Amino acid sequence: MNRLWTIMRKEIFHIWRDPRTLAMIVLLPALLLILLGFGISFEQQSVKMAVADFSRTDSSRNLLEQFTASNDFVYEYDVLNEDALIDLINRDLVDVGILIPEGYERDLVGGTPTDILIYIDGSMQPTDSLTLQLKLNSITSMVAQDMLIQKVEKSGLASSINLPVSGILKTLYNPNGDSKIYMIPGLIAILLQIQALILSALSIVREREQGTMEQLIVTPVRSWELMLGKIIPYLVVCIFNLLALLWLSKLFFGVTVAGSVGVLIGLSIIFILGSLGMGVLISNISQSQMQAMYILLFVVLVPAIILSGLMFSRENMPAFTYWYSELLPVTQYLEITRGIMVRGVEASSLFWSSTVPLLVLCVGYFTASILVFRKRI
């Protein structure tokens, strides 16, 4: 135990003696959470819109008011022809162009079906384009329904007509569709993994480059004591940052932990230990700090951001990329953070789906790191 404590004190001294490194370890994850939390948003508001209104009637103006009634669309340009409408989209000045035909009101009064032409900039992100299409279809359907009701009321049949089916939508956990409630738990998971991997991966390979690892190896210290002595201080740092990130999530974004904070911290410790073990494993197979950073970046961190489910659904991924993501502890941990923070689920609900796979991965990486470390010694 004394040998373990000696290694831990040495590692703590390495962290503490450099104020700039200490500031980066403590402050950088917090700053990134705030920056990315405000910067990443899937909500479409204030979509710029251009209109070519050939009708110029009360009916066409009422139609346009339906589009601008919410914060979804902003009426930016009024053009005289279809070519000018398309030109604005080509120059990326607007995302949507609406063309109302000349006989719009006449057709409405005469009961003739009429079409309005809506152009959408398809070069945007496909999910944004699809969301935009759904919003536009929803507004046009609502306008058509209102016109139908008015027509029925004028005919005097309104009292005898009832819709056969009425859908009542209830959105659980995030009724307002706030993207921050979805993103913040994922950002916490990614930031914790980045920190744990970098701290542990660079610590051992740095010792080898500086020649101090050999001095430790010739001492009576055991390999597992050396590993734990280097990992435990970073575990404490990561737990501190987890608590700080949870506090900042509530302070800046109003995102709280709906479930048990104790369960979240307990499962987070498992995840952090697994990430530290993965970092030590990478450090043991690397010959230099640059090599370790390349492996971290291109084998773990970039795939983790793209494939873990942080921003994209994993269900539609090809089999290879899906199973690759299953080998990343952050994939399981991300499900845990969203489950506990957003849905408030109990630990038992996550046991087989996320907790057991996370535990298996973490034990596997930690064991592999010890075995490789012993072999190199």
The CATH number given to whatever domain includes residue 67 is 3.40.1710.10
Same domain, 36 and 51: no
In angstroms, the CA 178 to CA 269 distance is: 28
Total tally of structural domains belonging to the chain: 2
Q: Which of 251, 271, 264 is nearest to 344 (CA)?
A: 264
* Backbone φ/ψ region at 219: left (φ over 0), alpha (ψ -120 to 50), beta: beta
In a domain, 168, yes or no: no
Residue 57's SS3 state is coil
In a domain, 240, yes or no: yes
SS3 for 4-49 is HHHHHHHHHHHHHCCHHHHHHHHHHHHHHHHHHHHHCCCCCCCEEE
11: Cβ–Cβ under 8 A, 6 or more apart, which residues?
A: 203, 229, 230, 232, 233, 234
How many CB atoms are located within 10 Å of the residue 343 CB? 15
**Is the full-model pTM beyond 0.85?**
no
CA distances 227 to 269, 275, 280, 322, 336, Å, are 17, 14, 8, 31, 27
Contact by Cβ (8 Å): 117, 89: no
Upper half-sphere CA count for residue 375 (Cβ side, 13 Å): 9
pLDDT for 13 equals 72
Same domain, 37 and 185: yes
Low-confidence ranges of the chain (pLDDT < 70): 1-7, 10, 14-15, 18, 21, 41-45, 124-128, 130, 147-171, 211-221, 223, 374-377
- Per the structure block, which two tokens stand in for 299? 């084998």
Domain that residue 84 falls in: 47-153
Q: What is the pLDDT of residues 133-186, one digit of tens each?
A: 777 887 787 777 776 666 666 666 555 555 454 455 666 788 777 888 888 999
pLDDT for 287 equals 84
Same domain, 98 and 231: no
Q: How far is CA 116 from the centre of its chain?
A: 36
293: Cβ–Cβ under 8 A, 6 or more apart, which residues?
A: 198, 201, 202
State the greatest distance between any 2 C-alpha atoms of the chain, in Å, as a whole number: 97
Q: Which of 361, 311, 295 is nearest to 333 (CA)?
A: 361
In a domain, 159, yes or no: no
pLDDT for 167 equals 55
Residue that is last in its domain, among 119, 153, 187: 153
In angstroms, the CA 237 to CA 26 distance is: 8
Burial 352-377 (b: 16+ CB within 10 A, else e): eebbebbbebbebbbebbbebbeeee
Contact by Cβ (8 Å): 333, 315: no
pLDDT for 166 equals 47
Q: What is the pLDDT of residues 364-376, one digit of tens each?
A: 998 888 888 765 6
In a domain, 364, yes or no: yes
